[in-house]
Structure 1
Amino acid sequence: MGAFFHADMIAIILAGAVATFLTRIGGYWLVMRMKTIPPRLEAALNAVPAAVLTTLVAPAFFTGGPDVQVAMAAALIASLRFSVLPMLAIGWCAVMLMRYAFGV
């Protein structure tokens, strides 16, 4: 149990928590001080969700096997028509079928 509580590890966790808090509260504080948000800043803030999604999905797509790639493609196509839960179910079914049929 003592191996989990090194002073260095606790310091790293606390430093990460403080950095995360300051980053989040700093952005909020900066935006709240503005009377109006400039159009370029608003466009940049609107692009953040797509950028974050891309950084999460792209590495998995390119480093995963064919089962992951087929599942992501199926989920992408399903997302054009359905909401989130059916899209996840279709992607999950696609990866399970690929793994069962081809032993991937």
Structure 2
Amino acid sequence: MPEWFALDTVTVAAILGMAGVTWLTRMTGYALARRIAITGRAKAALEAMPPAILTAIIAPMALSEGIPEAVAAAVTVLAALRLPTLVAVAVGVATVVLLRSLPL
């Protein structure tokens, strides 16, 4: 194995520690969500978060890369309004792959 790929125990411990904290955070959120009734505006806000987060992640890339990426980002945002997030991401990836393969 190359020397640059070597992992020391501190690095492995840090990675495992971060994974544990991430898992604990998620499980705590699920446990609390089961005990709290979310209705009205809070429910609407939580349902709107996946498209908003997806847009925040994609927008900087889309505006700095080129036309295929910008079009694919717009398609992804529109898909995220109606489809599950994973499907919207797949639609966006397929769109950018298709547009990049076209001779422009």
TM-score (structure 2 length as normaliser): 0.66
- The answer on whether the counterparts of 1:61 and 1:72 sit within 8 Å (CA) in structure 2 is yes
Number of residue pairs matched by the alignment: 95
Partner of 1:29: 31
Supply the RMSD in Å over aligned alpha carbons.
Answer: 3.1
Q: Give a deviation string over 1:45-65, Cα, whole Å, max 9, x none.
A: 212211221122112112212
> Which residues of structure 2 form unaligned runs of 5+?
82-86
In structure 2, distance between residues paired with 1:78 and 1:25: 31
Any stretches of 5+ residues in structure 1 without a counterpart? none
Residue 69 in structure 1 maps to residue 74 in structure 2: no
Could you say if the C-alpha distance between residues 95 and 66 of structure 1 is closer, same or farther in structure 2, counting changes exceeding 3 Å? same
Structure label with greater radius of gyration: 1
Q: Does the CA-based 8 Å contact 2:62-2:70 persist in structure 1?
A: yes
Q: 1:26 Cα shift?
A: 1.0
Separation of aligned partners in 2, 1:6 and 1:31: 38
Equivalent residues in 2 for 1:47-58, closer than 5 Å:
47-58=48-59
Does residue 7 of structure 1 match 2:9? yes
Q: Does structure 2 conserve the Cα–Cα contact (< 8 Å) formed by 1:78 and 1:90?
A: no
**Matches of 2:57 and 2:65 in 1, distance apart?**
13
Distance 1:28 1:51 in 2: 21
Percent identity over the alignment is 34
Q: How far apart are residue 25 of structure 1 and its match? A: 0.5
Structure 1 moving runs of 4+ over 3 Å:
70-73, 75-80, 83-91
Letter in 2 for 1:57: I
1:78 and 1:53, CA in 2 relative to 1: closer, same or farther beyond 3 A?
A: closer
